[in-house]
Structure 1
Amino acid sequence: MTGASRGPNDPGRRDRIIDAALDVIAEHGVAGTTHRRVAEAAGVSLGSTTYYFDSLHQLLTEAFNRLAESMSARYRELLDEARDVAQARAAVVEIICGPRWGSPRELMLIYELYAFSSRNPDVLDVTRSWMRASRATLGEHFDARTARALDALVEGLTIHNSMDSEPMSRADVAAVVEAVSRGA
């Protein structure tokens, strides 16, 4: 009779588990992420994590995929608003310097994604897919070579600015974006 007292099915449980996995990764890193911690953060039973995900590796992969999709959507939103190259350059500067791109939590998750994907080919596919999406979005405003360079610039300057005691100023970032994209 335990099934009768269980209550209605929880259609959002799987998504809550994925979101909780990102919270746990941000707080404890991939190395400190366990099914138990994720279940606790999601407010579900430990069995729910193994019911929805065959392994912790699968859960981590899906969590990182959700992160990449979310970040890519914001990236695309900013560039979709651009109507010319000057506005596209301003959007790239906003991605690097502005608050819409990535919170400290999201940057921590990105660092974890990069480290984890360097040793896991299926997660490397998540990273590569994200790069392709970013370059395609940039490619709507810039040639392929410039889009690739700007994508690398976004990643590099974002990482450097998050760790540097004296981050590059918005004006300096704008000058670098202009130099990289000149003639595009």
Structure 2
Amino acid sequence: MSGTRREIPNDPGRRDRILDAALDVIAEGGVHRTTHRKIASRAGVPLGSLTYYFDGMDDLLALAFARLADTMSKLYRRTLHSAGSTAEAEAAVVELICGPAYATDRDMTLIFEMYAYANHNTAVATTTRSWLARSRESLALHFTPGVARALDALIEGWPMHRRFDAAPLNRQLVAGVVHAVVNAAPHLPDEQL
């Protein structure tokens, strides 16, 4: 028999369950109310598992937010990647802003928590910057860098407003603004806005 019991995980999905549970706990009560005990309970794991897999709460939160950013970046990329024309890419941007799949209420809560935590945590700030860069790279599949930056700001900002307005967005208005930004491409600089 090769290997020791320690080398063979008896619960290979435990680390991922802990990260998912951390995001659930954050979504329900915020970072400030997140504890090891709540995460362990939500994940259905012994409390000691958290210290086995993570170097404290900061590490656990940083990895949970990295998981969130990665999941959302992949959805963002898939939505834009499938567009075959500029018009389809504009429609994909409108879908990211108005549609049900991206930036759900839970996602928005987690994004707000991540942004706030990034102000005080270098690892999460790095994750946030990387997420913004990945978003712009996805938009750059169809748009110039200046337009990609402007559209990314709309994709980030409009769902935030929707969340606090507690009303659906006017899809026609959003589509008109997205189209106007895309058509302003010759007038937008390609460097950072």
User: What TM-score comes out, normalization by structure 1 length?
Assistant: 0.93
Could you tell me the percent identity over the aligned residues?
55
Cα shift readout 1:91-132 (whole Å, capped 9, x = no counterpart): 000000001112211111011001101121211000000000
The yes-or-no answer on 1:13 pairing with 2:18 is: no
Matches within 5 A, 1:166-177: 166-177=167-178
> 1:139, 1:147 within 8 Å by CA — same for their partners in 2?
yes
What number of residue pairs does the alignment pair up? 178
Instruction: Give 5+ residue unaligned stretches, structure 2.
Output: 186-193
Correspondence for 1:131:
132
The yes-or-no answer on 1:36 pairing with 2:48 is: no
Indicate the SS of the match to 1:31. helix
Instruction: Give 5+ residue unaligned stretches, structure 1.
Output: none
* In structure 1, distance between residues paired with 2:85 and 2:70: 25
Cα shift readout 1:71-96 (whole Å, capped 9, x = no counterpart): 01111111011011111000000000
* In structure 1, distance between residues paired with 2:18 and 2:40: 7
* In structure 1, distance between residues paired with 2:33 and 2:170: 35
The yes-or-no answer on 1:47 pairing with 2:48 is: yes
Query: Cα RMSD over matched residues?
Result: 1.3
Correspondence for 2:190:
none
> 1:14, 1:52 within 8 Å by CA — same for their partners in 2?
yes
The yes-or-no answer on 1:157 pairing with 2:141 is: no
> 1:78, 1:91 within 8 Å by CA — same for their partners in 2?
yes
User: What TM-score comes out, normalization by structure 2 length?
Assistant: 0.89
Give the letter aligned to residue 107 of structure 2: E
Indicate the SS of the match to 2:102. coil
Correspondence for 1:91:
92
Deviation at 1:167, TM superposition (A): 4.4
